[in-house]
């Protein structure tokens, strides 16, 4: 079981480097009803993450991906290779496309009113569902959990650990705001400016670094 954590922890840390999620939660915490909306956003992201894990882990049980060395070297290698290629393609597209022009901020609610929590919850689901870079690292990690061949409880625990790390960009600002709202709010303004400035570079770095890692891992495990 220790081997699976050795394999998934680097991927979890890469998935946690998500300027998009961090910008979203900082924006949510900067509005009205910040803590409740922040928790609703986190719950939405958690729901999507747990749903993907359940679908993948239960669905993979019937495919034989975790049975024997053949699947460990062939199916698993192709899975890693595909995920790595996807990340490298995303990096190339981002580089070729160039920086996007900045858009003026949109007001999602009238001043003085609190947005519906259900809308924020759905926003959390959508934010995680469209976070392609994190998902491209999450799915190979779930594959490693399946291949490990541990019990259902062990798989659920490993997936839970990965999700907790992956959602750290949401959880850490939430915890900071809950402990010290005023100091956190002041820090969020600086953080938002920093993330906006470097978001593209960070994304490209993660995509190239982990794309190359997964591609190499997949090629090295091909029979």
Q: What is the mean pLDDT of the chain?
A: 83
Separation CA 98–CA 65 (nearest Å): 39
Which of 125-146 are b and which e, b meaning 16 or more Cβ less than 10 Å from the residue's Cβ?
bebbeebebbbbbbbbbbbbbb
pLDDT score for 115: 60
Separation CA 82–CA 176 (nearest Å): 37
**In tens digits, what is the pLDDT along the chain, a chain of 223 residues?**
568 898 899 999 999 988 888 889 988 988 888 999 999 999 999 999 999 999 888 876 555 555 544 445 677 788 889 999 999 998 898 888 876 655 544 444 444 445 688 999 999 999 999 998 899 999 999 988 888 767 788 889 999 999 999 999 999 999 999 999 888 888 887 887 787 777 788 888 988 999 999 999 888 877 7
pLDDT score for 75: 73
CA angle centred on 203, ends 127 and 94, rounded to 5°: 95
pLDDT score for 178: 92
pTM for this entry: 0.82
If DSSP codes are grouped into helix, strand and coil, which group holds residue 149?
coil
pLDDT score for 201: 86
First to last CA, the chain: 24
pLDDT score for 105: 44
pLDDT score for 188: 83
Rg of the Cα trace of the chain? 19
């Amino acid at each position: 079981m220790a081997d699976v954590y050795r394999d998934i922890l680097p991927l979890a840390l890469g998935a946690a480097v998500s300027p998009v999620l961090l910008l979203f939660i900082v924006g949510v915490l900067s509005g009205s009803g910040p803590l409740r909306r922040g928790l609703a956003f986190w719950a939405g992201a958690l729901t999507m993450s747990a749903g993907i894990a359940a679908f993948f882990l239960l669905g993979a049980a019937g495919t034989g991906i975790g049975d024997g060395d053949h699947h460990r070297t062939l199916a698993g290698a192709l899975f890693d290779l595909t995920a790595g290629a996807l990340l490298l393609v995303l990096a190339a597209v981002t580089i070729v496309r160039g920086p996007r022009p900045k858009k003026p901020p949109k007001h999602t609610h009238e001043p003085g009113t609190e947005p519906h929590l259900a809308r924020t919850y759905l926003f959390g689901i959508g934010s995680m569902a469209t976070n392609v870079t994190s998902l491209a690292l999450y799915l190979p990690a779930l594959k490693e959990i399946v291949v490990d061949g541990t019990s259902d409880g062990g798989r659920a625990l490993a997936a839970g650990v990965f999700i907790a790390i992956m959602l750290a960009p949401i959880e850490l600002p939430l915890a900071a705001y809950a402990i010290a709202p005023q100091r956190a709010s002041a820090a969020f303004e600086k953080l938002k400016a920093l993330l906006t400035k470097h978001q593209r570079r960070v994304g490209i770095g993660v995509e190239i670094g982990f794309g190359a890692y997964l591609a190499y891992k997949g090629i090295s495990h091909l029979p």
